[in-house]
Amino acid sequence: MRLASVSLTLALAATASGSALATAAPALAAARTTVSAQPASAAHSEVSTHASTAARASWHTQRHEVLGPGKLLDTSTWSRPSGVRVMQVKARCWGNNSQIKVDLWFLRRWGAGEKIAKSGKWACNGNYGIVRIRNAGHSTYWADFSLSKKHTVEYWVQYYK
């Protein structure tokens, strides 16, 4: 007897909730039409209409000088800008069957001396050569130029950011 009354109570509850859903359905449909009636631009009004344009990385010249004439030339020191990890020295010279060797030096921290980070050698034919380091982490750098004959050297110190 008791089991029959429980099943009857469940049946009545299901019928009541079904009628409640039937009366609530038109209200839900009306709410959906008001939301979808907004134009797409109004729905996204909080979001910026412009895509974020991050500055593209590019090469920036930190120094451009001419040295010489001479056989052994060096630059004064320069500081690596904050956040820069790629640096290069572009150099060129003109000459008659001569070569240039470029050494890119860095100063170690805590008085540990200096070291050549990268070196390159090419002909003095008016075209520039590049000595590039990709994981620059020290703060002070300079370059040395060794030529087989006396010439003028034009160089650029650049960083990529």
Quickly state the pLDDT bin for 151 (edges 50, 70, 90).
very high
Q: Candidates 2.60.40.1120, 2.60.120.680, 3.40.50.300, 2.40.50.1020; correct CATH number of 59-160?
A: 2.60.120.680
Report pTM: 0.65
Break the chain into its structural domains and give their ranges: 2-43, 59-160
44 or 66, which is more confident?
66
- Please check whether residue 154 is in contact with residue 93, taking contact to mean a CB–CB distance below 8 angstroms: yes
- Please check whether residue 135 is in contact with residue 85, taking contact to mean a CB–CB distance below 8 angstroms: yes
Quickly state the pLDDT bin for 85 (edges 50, 70, 90).
very high
Quickly state the pLDDT bin for 48 (edges 50, 70, 90).
very low
* Average confidence score pLDDT of the chain: 80
- Residue 118 identity (one-letter amino acid): K
Gap between the Cα atoms of 146 and 141, Å rounded: 17
- pLDDT 10s digits, 110-132: 889 999 999 999 999 999 999 99
88 or 1, which is more confident?
88
Gap between the Cα atoms of 87 and 73, Å rounded: 20
**Phi, psi at residue 133, to the nearest 5°?**
-115, 140
Quickly state the pLDDT bin for 96 (edges 50, 70, 90).
confident
127 or 8, which is more confident?
127
